[in-house]
Amino acid sequence: MTQEQLTHEHNPVSTLIEITKQLTSVLNEEMECLKSKRPSEIKDLQERKNILTASYYKEMNTIKSNGGLASAGNGEIVRTLKKVSRFFQETLERHTRYIKAKKELTENMIKEISEEISKKNGTNTKYGRNAKMANNSVASRTTTMAINQTV
């Protein structure tokens, strides 16, 4: 291995480029799991994503403490980092929008289901004026009556 290859391999910018590519891949895998209705598989990616995220911040701090991108090396490696980072940011934004949309969809679905169940069961529980639960169901408005059958 040449000195240039060794320097390239141990260069924090090169490491950051690889980590960023891997993080982008994990985000795409997560979105694919959700699109193909396999959300349980996301937990398998979580540990890898956490390790990559920690490594990402470590390399960013290393670069920062070594003088930033100006001391990172030739212009080509910096251009590559910027290109990979831009793609990562786009993927991260897509991922965030997708997760928010899925969350909103799920919350609305749960809300609709609970409202339908409440209608079906005749319960409509809300907070009253005194901050206590006010139950407006038919059962709560019915009074009990005892009939004395002794004549």
pLDDT value of residue 101: 92
Q: What crossing angle do the helices spanning 12-35 and 75-121 adopt, rounded to 10°?
A: 30
Distance CA 4, CA 11 (A): 10
> Is the pTM higher than 0.85?
no
- Interatomic CA distance for residues 68 and 79, integer angstroms: 14
**pLDDT digit string (tens) for 106-148?**
888 888 887 887 777 765 556 556 666 555 555 555 555 555 5
pLDDT of amino acid 33:
92
CA-based max dimension of the chain: 112
Give CA separation, 142 vs 92, 93, 126, 147, in Å: 55, 54, 18, 16
Question: Does residue 2 have a pLDDT over 50?
Answer: no
pLDDT 10s digits, 9-62: 568 899 999 999 999 999 999 999 989 988 888 888 999 999 999 999 999 999
Q: Is the pLDDT of residue 150 over 60?
A: no
Residue with tokens 């409202």: 115
The 3-state DSSP class for residue 113 equals helix
**Predicted pLDDT of residue 68:** 82
- The pLDDT value given to residue 67: 84
3-state SS assignment for residue 106: helix
Q: Provide the pLDDT for residue 125.
A: 57
Query: Apex CA 110: angle with CA 134 and CA 123, to 5°?
Result: 25
Q: Where are the domains of the chain?
A: 9-124+132-141
Question: Would the pLDDT of 84 be above 90?
Answer: yes
